[in-house]
Amino acid sequence: MPLLAALCASASVWASTSADPKKLPTIVFLGDSLTAGLGLAEEEAFPARVGEILAATGHAVHVVNGGVSGDTTAGGLRRIDWLLRQKPAIVVVWLGANDGLRGFPVEETERNVREIIRKAKGAGAKVLLCGMTVPPSYGPIYQKSFSAVFPRLARELHVAFSPFPLKDVAGKPELNLPDGIHPNLAGQRVVAAVLAKDLAPLLETGHERERRSTGAWNGSASSLSYVLADVGHGSASSWPRPRDPFQITSHLSRSR
């Protein structure tokens, strides 16, 4: 399983801050091939990009990429105890795609994700849960039931929720690899912008929360602008809506 340290905006940032990764808050990204960055170098996958954005906005972090191609929620549950040895401040849980593509029982997926979150919170970590949907292959009832698992668990377990990090990437050929499923380098940057915005509040100090509540802090907005400018696609609100992201037949389980 790949493990990588957080990348700052440039090597000089590390040198100027003398940051020791062991003293930085750790963010563990628990996921499948989407998180692993299928077809790309580890430093090009969105977890590393999230680290860059957060560092650029004053929140240097140590990133652990716990993405494993083909993984399911059951696999994630088996791995979570090992990952929690990293003593993360935050665990980002983005699993379920392979469960849905294989038609696993919704109850099984929900049980696994609930237990992953329970373990992470029990270890003292904050959790950002990412939503997932599935293709209509198994019918609209399964699709609706599956998609509902993630927001329901976020509400029930009181954790942060990112509805669908691929929302501005799915269905856009220019942001995906030739398989039409996994984000390419530009797509990884867009996904990173979404997740950095969702993670920023979890890293705020009490002073920063107070400033944000009074409108004096715009760290999240700065993060989003930073990446979108780098990608060169303009503001997210100006992009056309993606086509149905799940008019696909291939699986997310291809090996790296």
Give the residue-averaged pLDDT of 116-136.
96
Percent of the chain with pLDDT over 70: 72
Residues 6+ apart with CB under 8 A from 145: 106
Check pLDDT > 80 for residue 211.
Answer: no
Domain ranges of the chain: 11-238
Amino acid letter for position 127: V
The first and second tokens of residue 2, run together, are 């790949």
Residue 56 to residue 131: CA distance in whole angstroms: 26
Return all residues near 157 (Cβ < 8 A) that are at least 6 apart: 114, 117, 118, 121, 127
Write down the mean pLDDT value for the chain.
Answer: 80
How is domain 11-238 classified at the CATH fold level? Rossmann fold (3.40.50)
- Pick the more confident residue, 109 or 238: 109
| Residue for token pair 């929620």 | 73
Catalytic positions, written as ranges: 33, 179, 182
Residues 110-122 have a mean pLDDT of 98
| pLDDT tens sequence across 8-56 | 322 222 222 346 777 899 999 999 999 999 999 999 999 999 999 999 9
Confidence of residue 206 (pLDDT cuts 50, 70, 90): low
Are the CB atoms for 182 and 252 separated by under 8 Å?
A: yes
Say whether pLDDT at 4 is over 60.
no
pLDDT at 209: 56
Burial group, residue 41, by CB count within 10 angstroms (0-12, 13-18, 19+): exposed
Q: What is the pLDDT of residues 138-170, one digit of tens each?
A: 999 999 999 999 999 999 999 999 999 999 999
CA distance 75 to 72: 5
**Residue 205 pLDDT:** 67
Q: What are phi and psi of 197, to 5 degrees?
A: -65, -40
- The vertex-30 CA angle with 128 and 223, nearest 5°, equals 50
